[in-house]
Structure 1
Amino acid sequence: MKDPANPTSRTPEDDRLRRRIGPTIRDVARMANVSIGTVSKALNNNGSLKAETRERVIAVANALGFRPNSLAQSLHRRHSFTVGLISNDSFGRFTMPIAEGLEACLADRQIAVFMCNATDDPERERQHVEQLLGKRVDGMVITARRADRRPGLDGALRGLPVIYVFSQSDDPEAVCLLPDDEGGARMAVEHLIGLGRQRIAHITGPERFEAVRLRRDGYRQALTAAGLAEGEGYYLSGDWSEKWGYDAAARLFAHGREPPDALFCGNDQIARGAADALRERGIAVPEDVAIVGFDNWNVMTEASRPPLTSVDLNLRALGREAGRRLIAMIDGTPMRGVSRLPCTLVIRESCGAKTDTLTGTEDYA
Structure 2
Amino acid sequence: MPEAKSPNRYTLRDVARRAGVSLGTASKALNKSGTLRSETRDKVLLAANELGFRPNDLAQALHRGQSFTVGLISNDSFGRFTMPIMEGLETVLHEAGIALFMCNATDDPEREKRHIDQLLGKRVDGLVFTGRRADRRPAPGLALGNLPVLYVFSQSDEPDAACLLPDDEGGARLATEHLLALGRTRIAHVTGPEDFEAVRLRRRGYEASLSQVDPTLILHGPWSEAWGREAATRLLALPNRPDAIFAGNDQIARGIVETLRDKAIAVPDDIAVIGFDNWSVMAEASRPQISSIDMNLKSLGEEAGHRLIRMIRGESQGGTSRLPCTLVPRASTTTTP
Shared fold by TM > 0.5? yes
Q: Which residue of 1 aligns with 2:99?
A: 112
Query: Which residue of structure 2 lines up, in the alignment, with residue 266 of structure 1?
Result: 248
Deviation at 1:154, TM superposition (A): 7.6
Q: Which deviations, in whole Å up to 9, do the C-alpha atoms of 1:12-60 show, x marking residues without a partner?
A: xxx78x4263432222212221122222222233321222222222222
**TM-score under structure 1 length normalisation:** 0.88
Once the two structures are superposed, the pairs formed by residues 1-365 of structure 1 within 5 Å of their partners are 18-19=5-6, 21-153=8-140, 156-224=143-211, 229-254=212-237, 257-355=239-337
In the alignment, residue 148 of structure 2 is paired with which amino acid? P
Between the aligned partners of 1:125 and 1:32, the Cα distance in structure 2 is 45
* Partner SS state of residue 294, structure 1: coil
Q: Deviations over 1:170-191 (max 9, x none)?
A: 1111111110000001011111
Separation of aligned partners in 1, 2:195 and 2:229:
21
AA aligned to 1:37 is: G
Displacement of 1:258 in angstroms is: 1.5
Work out whether residues 268 and 297 of structure 1, in 8 Å CA contact, stay in contact via their aligned partners in 2: yes
SS in 2 for 1:350: coil
> 1:173/1:92 Cα in 2 relative to 1: closer, same or farther (>3 Å)?
same
1:108, CA displacement in angstroms? 1.6
User: Once the 2 structures are TM-superposed, how far is the Cα of residue 155 of structure 1 from its aligned partner?
Assistant: 5.7
Q: Check the 8 A contact 1:199/1:230 in 2, yes or no.
A: no
Partner amino acid for 2:227? W
Asked if the contact 1:129/1:157 (under 8 Å) is kept, the reply is no
Change (3 A) 1:184 1:104: same
Cα-to-partner distance string for 1:91-145 (whole Å, 9 max, x where unaligned): 1111111111111111122111111111111111111111111111111111111
2:335 and 2:137 mapped to 1: Cα distance? 39
Deviations 1:293-349 (A, max 9, x none): 001111101111111111111111111111111111111112211111111111211
Q: Give the unaligned 5+ runs of structure 2.
A: none
| Counterpart AA for 2:88 | G
In 1, the alpha carbon distance for the partners of 2:223 and 2:32 equals 54
Structure 2 CA distance for aligned equivalents of residues 230 and 305 of structure 1? 29
Query: Following superposition, which runs of at least 4 residues in structure 1 exceed 3 angstroms of deviation?
Result: none
Q: Given that residues 69 and 100 in structure 2 are in contact (C-alpha distance below 8 angstroms), is that contact kept between their aligned partners in structure 1? A: yes
In 2, the alpha carbon distance for the partners of 1:295 and 1:240 equals 12
Q: Percent identity?
A: 64
Distance 2:224 2:289 in 1: 18
Q: Distance in 2 between matches of 1:301 and 1:333?
A: 40
1:66 partner amino acid: F
Two-structure CA RMSD over aligned residues (Å): 1.7
SS state at 1:40 partner:
helix
Q: Give the CA deviation at 1:63.
A: 2.4
- Which amino acid in structure 2 is aligned with residue 270 of structure 1? I
Contact 2:229 2:255 in 1 (8 A): yes
Go from structure 1 to structure 2 and tell me whether the alpha carbon gap of 1:110 and 1:154 turns closer, same or farther (over 3 Å shift): farther
Separation (CA, whole Å) in 2 of partners of 1:59 and 1:30: 12
Residues in 1 aligned to 2:215 and 2:164: alpha-carbon distance in whole angstroms: 35
Matches of 2:232 and 2:35 in 1, distance apart? Answer: 74
| SS of alignment partner, residue 73 of structure 2 | strand
Q: Residue type of the partner of 1:261?
A: D
Q: Summarize the Cα distance change of 1:353–1:339 in structure 2 as closer, same or farther, 3 Å threshold.
A: farther
AA aligned to 1:324 is H
Q: List runs of 5+ in structure 1 lacking aligned partners.
A: 1-9, 356-365
CA distance in 1, matches of 2:142, 2:114: 15
* 1:347 and 1:353 in contact (8 A); partners too: no
